[in-house]
Structures are given as structure tokens and as C-alpha cells.
Structure 1
Amino acid sequence: MRHPLHPALVHFPVACWSLATLADFAGLWFGETAWQWSAGLLAVGCLTALAAMTAGLMELARIPDGPALRDTYWHMGIMLAAFALFTARLLIGQDHLQPLAPDALALAIDALGFAALAAGGWLGGRLVYGHGIGR
């Protein structure tokens, strides 16, 4: 029995990016106490996403042609968009490696990144539970 590595790794960027988004929006009410966590969570999320994406690419050859492969390509594209958005959010949210308070642009990027993360995660679940990939 083999257990694919990709599904085990994706929990880290998903959790970090979700919590970073929550921290940024919570900063609207709680100030720096909340949003100060965002940069670290974004950095860890982006680094662990690289590991998850590498594992996913290594497992790509095992996906059969047809609807499962189509959903895989959609999953990859949407998750790459989430990665790009959260990486951009990390980069614009700093000044000389010091985190900045989130502004309207940062919050918009957070929201778009989270939406992409949710859509890509749903497709990942569809691959496992709908197509039986990785079982």
C-alpha cells in the first residue's frame, strides 16, 4: 500500500494561509496584536506549499487520462494562483523585512487568495473522493 505524500503536505500551507487571512482581517478589530502573525504564517505557508507542489508534480504521472486529469490540471492552476496571490501578499506586506499593517490592497489579495485556496481545495477533494486518486 502506498500513501501519496502530496495530501499529507497540503494541510500546512492551507492552514497557514487561512490563518494569515484570518489574522489580517482580525487586525481590523484587534489591531497589531492580530495582524502581526500574518507575515510569518504567509512565509511558512509559501515554503510548505513548494514542498506540497513538488510532491504533487511527482504524483502527476499516476493520474489517468480523462476527467480526473482534467480536474487535476484545474486543481494545479487554481492552487498556483493561490500560491502567487499569497506570495504577492507576503512581499507587499513588508518593509525591510518588517511586517506592515494590512491595507485595502492586502485584504483584497487575502480574499482572492483564500477564494482560490477554497476552490483548489474543493477540486483536490474531488480528485480523492470523486475520482479515487491516491486511495
Structure 2
Amino acid sequence: MTTVVESGAVVRMPVHFDDLDAMGVLHNSRYAVLVERAVALWWTERGVSFAGGHPTTPDAFNVVREYAITFHRPVTGTGEIAVRFWLDRLGTSSAEYGFRVASLDGGTVFAEGRRVNIRVDPASMRPAPWTEHGRAVAATLVR
């Protein structure tokens, strides 16, 4: 379930037993997966996804160019966490997200970071402009 907040969105994401490392904390690689799934879920709820192996809109065809994360506190155990994300900048073909992985009440920030997506043309695999529809949907995430 996603929630719209003052700026950006919050998506509740489950942490499963197999997401934990040998110490019983969320493995560092799983943060990127949780952010990816939260962002994908948000866009899917707005009609931008893949179905039958094909993008539902041209804007669904995009790749991650950059990903940076700073860890603050470990997630210990299973349960739900909140992934909050927003757009710091929407360029012609790029989207610069900020994100925060936190407790459901937002009181504990486990990690935060930045992610840049680039919309690409499926034939050339070169950067391509976001569509007007994609820009309008993305505008609701701009901080």
C-alpha cells in the first residue's frame, strides 16, 4: 500500500526472514531491492509497469544510472518498514530520486540515499525524453 505525503510517497514494504544476514539484520544489498520494489509498486499503481514482458507505457522502460546509500541503523528482524521517496529533479530523460528507509512511524531512519533513473529508447538503448503523461505523474513526487 502506498501513501502520498506532503512531498513524495511512502510505501510499506515487508522484510522477510530471507532478507536477513547471518547476524539477523537486513542485508545491505536488500535495501536497494526494497527501494526498487517500492518505486515500482508506486508507478504500477499509476499504470506505468510491465505486463506480459512489455512496458505498459514508454516511461516504464528505464534503467538505474546511479545509486548511493548511507546506512544509519540496522533493521533487526522481520516485519514492515516504510520506504519514502521523492524526486529532487526531473530532467529531460532523467529522474533523480531521494529516498529514506525508516520505521513505519518515521521515527527511526535506517538508511537514506539517492537514485537516478534514465528513460531509454528500447530500440537504441539511448536516453529518451519522458512522455508528457510520465512527466505529469512524476510531478506529484517532486519535492
Tell me, yes or no, whether TM beats 0.5.
no
TM-score by length of 2: 0.25
TM-score by length of 1: 0.26
Q: Which has the higher helix share?
A: 1
